[in-house]
Amino acid sequence: MRQKLGNTDQAADLVQDTFIKLLQTRDELFGIKEPRAYLTSIAKKLLIDQVRRKRIEQAYLDGLSQMEYMLEAVASPEDQMQIIQAINQLCKALEGVSEKAQQAFILHYLEGYTHKEIAERLSVSTKMIQKYLASCLIQCYQNRQDMDACI
């Protein structure tokens, strides 16, 4: 893991997350013939999720850095905190959709691309872009309802 991540701390975190996931699925462990392969599979999936999350976060951070001067001029510190919290909620909501759906969402809603431009860029149809965006919006809506239920 250290070699793939290039960072000992991140590798340790990923290993810990892998074992947490393993403990959460312990009822399913009895039929596993290759425990090492199973652990590797869990770690790979967690690594993919982590990479996806970082891509989304980076896209938002890039967007925020471009608009930072506007935030400072217009938004109070409380407003800035609400914006950051909203971005974090959005990141969590988008974890449940595919990587292409995440890319379509970012390109459309943050960077202003049209459906046609996104379709060309992702090599899919415009109908598929509509489905991607709909799935993202559904995830956001469901996440919002879950957040409201917790409050």
Decide if pLDDT at 73 tops 60.
yes
Pick the CATH number of 96-151 from 1.10.540, 1.10.3470, 1.10.10, 1.10.20: 1.10.10
Spatial CA neighbour of 133 closest among 142, 107, 66, 151? 107
**Residue range 11-67, pLDDT digits in tens:** 888 888 888 888 888 777 777 888 888 888 888 888 888 888 888 888 877 776 766
Q: Where in the chain are all domains bearing CATH 1.10.10?
A: 96-151
**Tokens 């959460």 appear where?**
24
More confident residue, 113 or 28: 113
Contact 55, 98 (CB under 8 A): no
| Rounded CA separation 103/56 (Å) | 8
pTM of the model: 0.49
